[in-house]
Amino acid sequence: MATTKLWHISGRLQDVIDYAENPDKTCPIPDLEDLWNAARYVQRPAATADGTYVTAINCTRETAVQQMILTKKQFHKTDGYIAWHGYQSFKPGEVTPELCHQIGVETAKHLWGDRFQIIVTTHLDKGHLHNHWVFNSVSFVDGKKYNHSKQEIEWMRRVSDYYCQVHGLSVIPVPHKAPSRPVYFDEKDGKPTRYNVYREDIREALKNSFTIREAEKYLQRLGYITDFTSESHYRIRLPQYTHFTRLDTLDKRWVPENMYRFLASHPSQTKKAVVCWQTDVPEHLRHVHFPHQKPSHIYRLYLYYCYQLGILPKGTTYKPNSPFLREELRKLDQYDRETRFLGETGIETMDELQAYIADKQSMLDELAAERTSIQNKMRRADPETKESLRQQKTEKTASITALREQLKLAKSVEARSFHMQKTLDLVYDNELKQREQHSPEQHRTQRSYER
């Protein structure tokens, strides 16, 4: 049984060419870091038994990237996606390294071997054996670019399943859509991803209900949108997401028949879901969030949000019980880093943040222009001068990289401040809705900090 996935590698081809022609090859170009990281990652000796499980198709292992570059230059296809990177992962203990690599090579040849240059590697450093594919985006036969589509995804899965069956391995009969790689690994580590939060709330709903209808109401009080109309499966989602998630994809036991049987057999207790706010918030932060209004004082909004997540104050035992906020706990490191950034830079308001972004962007454009000028001089320079210019370019690149990190962090703060506002609005609206249902005559009652 094998699962497959494919994604593109972006970058600027001229940077690849410049780097490939650099004899010392000591520092990858930042714009092409993904490509070079992929090439190094898939072929690293520690994962491939010192290169035993590395195969090149339509190119040589040692010069694969250079040959891909030549193909692109030959057909003048130097824009867009540079390459494609995919994997083929097997069930633990089902294959040997030799068979894993053989299936990976056979699959790659069947899918792309008649038109593209490919590197196939097998990694042995995880609990499961898996293959990596990196192949050129431009065909060496006719110069046409690889066209990725839903049909190609399905074709890749079918070819992979075919070779698994040829070698006597199992296949997944009805594959479900897999979560993204970051979500998958966060789930594996037990972090509060959306799906882990769903699972926890469903368990609580079943634990505190006598009937399916009571369980559905429990979830609705937490803020979920539910669809329990089908006889074959139930679905839920939070308002900020477009698509529903089936309960039986979260846990294969959660089909209507099993859930009815469980509620009929276990000693349930009726308990309503309650969503509350952190009340231990300093006075100067209590009026930071105004429902459905754009944030202005973003630093205090960050501090207020950290209180609602239970990050502040230090030593607090408060934990949010709203699914809107609990999912955010997965991003604690990001919130901590961005809050520190605001504190260190002294940025208080949205206007100050946007001025900071404009200033850094101006500096970045200036440095990029200087580096381009150096690149142009390198084309006409003699070897000795070229080495000096290359050093200058490296220094400019280091400055650009640092500046890009600062700019990326600032833009992340700008986007996340609106996300925080939206999340707080969802919690507020859900609480107000529950108050209206519980006490219609008090439906205009505001939150505790507004009283």
Q: How far is CA 152 from CA 4, 34, 87, 265, in A?
A: 12, 23, 14, 47
This prediction has a pTM of 0.63
Whether the bond between 295 and the residue before it is cis, its omega within 30 degrees of 0, is no
Q: For the purposes of burial, counting CB atoms within 10 Å of the CB of 166, is it exposed (0-12), middle (13-18) or buried (19 or more)?
A: exposed
**Which secondary-structure segment (H or E) carries 263?**
helix 256-265
Residue 217, classed as helix, strand or coil, is helix
Q: Is residue 43 within 8 Å of 133, Cβ to Cβ?
A: no
Domains of the chain: 2-166 (3.30.930.30), 182-265 (no CATH), 283-442 (no CATH)
CA distance 347 to 297: 9
CA distance 302 to 298: 6
CA distance 39 to 66: 12
**Which secondary-structure segment (H or E) carries 367?**
helix 350-380
The pLDDT of residue 63 is 81
pLDDT per residue of the chain (451 residues) written in tens, 0 to 9: 678 888 787 765 445 444 434 434 333 444 444 445 555 555 555 555 555 788 899 998 878 878 888 898 899 887 778 888 888 988 888 899 899 999 999 999 999 999 999 988 888 877 788 888 889 999 999 999 999 888 898 899 999 999 999 999 888 775 566 677 777 778 777 788 999 999 999 999 999 998 999 999 999 999 999 999 999 999 999 999 999 999 999 998 999 999 999 988 877 677 888 888 888 899 999 889 889 988 889 999 999 999 999 989 988 889 999 999 999 999 999 999 999 999 999 999 999 999 999 999 999 999 999 999 998 998 888 888 888 999 999 999 999 999 999 999 999 999 999 999 999 999 999 888 887 776 654 444 444 444 3
The pLDDT of residue 451 is 37
User: Residue holding tokens 């053989």?
Assistant: 102
Pairing of strands 225-227, 130-136: unpaired
**Cβ count within 10 A of residue 60:** 10
Please name every residue paired with 55 in a beta bridge, in sequence order, or none if there are none.
120
**Cβ count within 10 A of residue 63:** 13
Q: Where are the beta strands (DSSP E) in 10-98?
A: 54-57, 83-90
The pLDDT of residue 45 is 57
Which tokens go with 436? 């209206």
Distance of alpha carbon 308 from its chain centroid, rounded?
Answer: 24
Q: Name the residue type at position 360.
A: K
Which tokens go with 366? 């200036």
Please name every residue paired with 354 in a beta bridge, in sequence order, or none if there are none.
none
Which DSSP state fits 145?
Answer: B
CA distance 324 to 290: 17
Distance of alpha carbon 159 from its chain centroid, rounded?
Answer: 27
Q: Name the residue type at position 317.
A: T
Cα dihedral sign, 23-26-29-34: positive
Residue 60, classed as helix, strand or coil, is coil
